[in-house]
Amino acid sequence: MLVATKNKMARKQKFPYLVGSKWTAQNKIDGWRHFQVINRKNQGRWVYAEMVASCDPNVRFWINAKLLQDRSQWHPGWHSLQEIEKLTKSG
């Protein structure tokens, strides 16, 4: 038996590797700089990331994932203060 299927182009997912990614905040948030994305939420055209502090699982918040692209606020990966200073000066 043949089943007819629609040949739809799948829309490219925004931020496909968001969950599990690690980030360093330029400024401390609730006393911490290092965060990991533990969840994502799509709301209309917006994508949100649930962030949790790597050293304190009680510190968590949702952020518009687009804001993670702002290098004056966030850096991908976990970095030391010295590395952040170098990244800020070079970028």
pLDDT tens-digit series, residues 26-60: 999 999 999 999 999 999 999 999 999 999 999 99
5 within domain boundaries: no
59 within domain boundaries: yes
Domain tally, the chain? 1
How many whole angstroms separate alpha carbon 30 and alpha carbon 22? 17
46 within domain boundaries: yes
Query: 0.85 exceeded by the pTM?
Result: no
7 pLDDT above the threshold of 80: no
pLDDT band at 11 (very low <50, low <70, confident <90, very high): low
Q: Domain range for residue 31?
A: 22-90
Report the percentage of the chain scoring pLDDT > 90. 69
Task: Give the neighbor-by-neighbor strand order of the sheet with 32-43.
Answer: 56-64, 46-53, 32-43, 22-29, 74-76
1 within domain boundaries: no
48 within domain boundaries: yes
10 within domain boundaries: no
Q: Which two tokens stand for residue 74?
A: 């966030």
Instruction: Cite the beta strand spans of 1-91 per DSSP E.
Output: 22-29, 32-43, 46-53, 56-64, 74-76
42 within domain boundaries: yes
